[in-house]
């Protein structure tokens, strides 16, 4: 495919110290692009990999020029300073990638005000302000682009009911595409990019728990799709692009190269046509992961207290509702109705019917969570460890 190169172009990428943002930056760097890493992490994070400086080193090693800038997109002054520094260093800005994002998959009553504020500030306001501040410089570029990492505007209520605040915030980013593409038509291309499947990042690790990576693709697929968009002429605007759909149109046939575990069933991403219940059913049909299937064959006695080290509280609704607990932390372990003897690490809210289905192997916790049947507060990774235990338990019954 003959296309423009990003050599000499200046990209301003928010949240580029790790994950999807960094993958897009490295793809551009291989062309010899200038990359402004506009992200918060200057000092190493206790649980998340990478800083703006480690990302800058990787970008330089890949063949690009890097400008690391400490930017929290909630702070207008920090955006302004970074944009001014970028223009002074590289002579302008050609491309803006609004990648920085905050997520909390919680219902309205479970979402703390500070979490709602964070999602609105980073996702909607941050995207809007960064676009506004970059636009005067983008308008001077020969092939200006804004690319938002946000979904198509799917108004099916199913995508709102389980995480209303998060959906509003991501759709706010998409509405920036809708409005600005029209407002700056002929001057600046404005598009959205969203993955067809779950992408394996540090955020996904926290949301999905251990083992989720097998159901994900690498960040490379979004980097390749972003590159396709950003090397198109600015007449390509106002599009809500799905990574796999675009790459198929571009002639890509082998998608196994993007899989963490080639051949393993993939988890569809949020906001696309498959509804959460359908997502759950599709993955249920594929059964457990190969690792879990191997574990079914184990003849070793099961010591769940040693393996899990967590206390679970179940708040059940429906005809047989009530409060139940499983203590897999204190010596010997225990279970029963009411509150646990020690503070719960994880609180799970669901219907009593789904609780029975979960403990008889008919509903996996990951799928219950994805489809909104299960709400979790507390240690998310520990909650997902329960799935492994249930598979082992059901294989012994």
Tell me whether residue 166 is one of the annotated catalytic residues. yes
CA distance 28 to 26: 5
End-to-end CA distance of the chain: 56
Q: Which residues fall within 8 angstroms of residue 279, CB to CB, at 6 or more apart?
A: 267, 268, 367, 370, 371
Q: Among 53, 128, 166, 325, which one carries the catalytic annotation?
A: 166
Quote the CA–CA distance of 105 and 276 in Å, as a whole number. 13
Can you tell me the distance from the alpha carbon of 212 to that of 30, in angstroms, rounded to the nearest whole number? 30
Q: Give the Cα separation of 219 and 224 in Å (integer).
A: 9
- Residue 334 to residue 45: CA distance in whole angstroms: 36
Catalytic residues: 166
């Amino acid at each position: 495919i003959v296309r423009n190169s990003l050599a000499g172009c200046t990209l301003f990428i928010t949240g580029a110290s790790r994950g999807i943002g960094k993958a897009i930056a490295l793809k551009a760097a291989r062309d010899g692009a200038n990359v402004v890493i506009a992200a918060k992490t200057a000092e190493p994070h206790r649980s998340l990999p990478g800083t703006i400086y480690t990302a800058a080193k990787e970008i330089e090693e890949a063949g690009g020029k890097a400008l690391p800038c400490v930017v929290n997109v909630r702070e207008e002054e920090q955006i302004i300073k970074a944009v001014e520094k970028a223009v002074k260093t590289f002579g302008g800005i050609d491309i803006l990638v609004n990648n920085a994002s905050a997520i909390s998959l919680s219902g309205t009553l479970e979402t703390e005000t500070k979490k709602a504020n964070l999602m609105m500030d980073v996702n909607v306001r941050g995207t809007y302000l960064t676009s506004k501040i970059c636009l005067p410089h983008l308008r001077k570029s020969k092939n200006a682009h804004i690319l938002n990492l946000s979904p198509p505007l799917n108004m099916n209520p199913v995508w709102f009911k389980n995480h209303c605040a998060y959906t509003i915030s991501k759709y706010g980013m998409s509405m920036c595409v809708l409005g600005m593409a029209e407002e700056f038509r002929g001057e600046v291309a404005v598009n959205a990019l969203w993955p067809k499947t779950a992408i394996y990042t540090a955020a996904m690790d926290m949301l999905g728990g251990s083992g989720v990576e097998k159901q994900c693709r690498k960040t490379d697929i979004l980097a390749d799709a972003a590159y396709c968009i950003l090397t198109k002429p600015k007449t390509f605007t106002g599009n809500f692009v799905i990574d796999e759909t675009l790459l198929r149109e571009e002639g890509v046939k082998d998608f196994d190269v993007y899989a963490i575990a080639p051949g393993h069933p993939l988890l569809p991403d949020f906001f696309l046509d498959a509804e959460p219940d359908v997502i759950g059913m599709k993955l249920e049909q594929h059964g457990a992961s190969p690792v879990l299937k191997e574990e079914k064959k184990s003849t070793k006695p099961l010591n769940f207290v040693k393996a899990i080290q967590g206390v679970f509280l179940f708040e059940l609704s429906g005809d047989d509702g009530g409060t139940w607990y499983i203590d897999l932390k204190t010596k010997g372990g225990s279970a029963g109705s009411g509150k646990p003897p020690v503070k719960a690490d994880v609180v799970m809210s669901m219907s009593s019917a789904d609780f029975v289905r979960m403990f008889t192997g008919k509903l996996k916790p990951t799928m219950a969570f994805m489809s909104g049947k299960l709400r979790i507060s507390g240690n998310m990774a520990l909650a997902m460890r329960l799935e492994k235990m249930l598979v082992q338990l059901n294989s012994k019954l």
